[in-house]
Amino acid sequence: MLSTLEILIPIFALILAGFVCRRRAVLGPTAASELNRFVVWLALPALLFDTMAHATWQQLDQPAFIATFWIAGAGVFVLILALRMAGGLHLADASIDAIAAAYPNTGYIGFPLCLIAFGSSSLTPTTIATILIACALFAIAIVLIEISLQSERRPHKLGLKVLTSLARNPLIVSPIAGVLVSAAQFRLPGSAETFLKLLSGAASPCALISLGLFLAERRPAGGVARSSLLLAGAKLIVQPLLAWWLAARVFALPVSLVQMTVVLAALPTGTGPFMLAEFYRREAGVASRTILLSTLGSLVSLSLLLLYMRHGQ
């Protein structure tokens, strides 16, 4: 419980810092959007590029784990997407809700928590999970949003417009560029490495402060609370249960890898969905509250999960 609390407290502190700064008028009404633009156009692309540029085939050569984690995340994504669209939601908004229910915070919580719980053996699975979620699943959500926002309906012209939009999207271009650098086995200069590390290090704290700024704005709740509870429940309960079933029953992974898979799937929602909502100027209330509720809920759920695993051993 204490180890989980130590990792989650800085997250709440950063959200609270943004919240207080907005409520005290230290930062203005456009601060959340502007800070989010910095994250989307500079900090997060640097992080995605750096992650992919340093990924090796040896790290990624774990097909059973990849299949397990991918199916668990994509399964929840498709489930929520279908439910939200059946409820009459626009494809763009349904895609943001779907990614909010399937986007574990591997970068900010996963690495330190798994290091404490499982040691250095957790680094490779956590890296793979980060790539699958932050690059692959994120990219699918972006493609769906782009398709939904295009007015053109003729297939060939729609495809061209979507591809053009994706080619200008830093969250798509940066990981592809990183893959090319990795495939070419090109070693970045030391100054470029430092630049990327400094810039990518700002992604999580700035996104969390931006989230706090957004939450500080007074706006009508509407159906946000119910929707956020649904998405947080899917994130903290459905995804880890599906991951456990796939890891233990379908792919029969080693016990230690099953435990890592379940913990990674049980992580709260990261800031990616909120950044997408802000970037595309969609309603971000559900995504922001899902992040907050799932992070609060994970304090209990992750602590109980880790306690159960230690007791089982």
Mean of pLDDT values over 255-269: 93
Q: For the ranges 119-128, 145-154, 286-295, which has the lowest average pLDDT?
A: 145-154
Buried b (16+ CB within 10 A) or exposed e, 252-283: ebeeebbbbbbbbbbbbbbbbbbbbbbbbebb
**pLDDT higher than threshold 80 for residue 116:** no
Domain locations in the chain as residue ranges: 2-312
**How many other CB atoms sit within 10 Å of the CB of residue 223?**
11
> Which has the higher per-residue pLDDT, 123 or 299?
299
Dihedral sign from CA coordinates of 53, 56, 61, 62: negative
Spatial contact of 40 and 171, defined as CB atoms under 8 Å apart? yes
Task: Give the burial class of 190: count Cβ atoms within 10 A of its Cβ; 0-12 exposed, 13-18 middle, 19 or more buried.
Answer: exposed
Q: For the ranges 19-23, 64-68, 149-153, 247-251, which has the lowest average pLDDT?
A: 149-153
What is the percent of the chain where pLDDT is above 70?
A: 91
pLDDT tens digits for range 165-192: 777 778 778 888 888 888 888 888 889 8
Residues contacting residue 269 through CB under 8 Å, at least 6 positions apart: 100, 101, 103, 104, 105, 231, 232, 235, 287, 290, 291, 294, 295
pLDDT the model gives residue 4: 65
Torsion, Cα 246 250 251 256, to 10 degrees, reads: 60
Spatial contact of 232 and 297, defined as CB atoms under 8 Å apart? yes
Confidence of residue 260 (pLDDT cuts 50, 70, 90): very high
Distance separating alpha carbons of residues 156 and 112, to the nearest angstrom:
46
Q: Domain 2-312: give its CATH architecture.
A: Up-down Bundle (1.20)
Tokens of 263: 């913990």
pLDDT the model gives residue 155: 64
Mean of pLDDT values over 32-42: 85
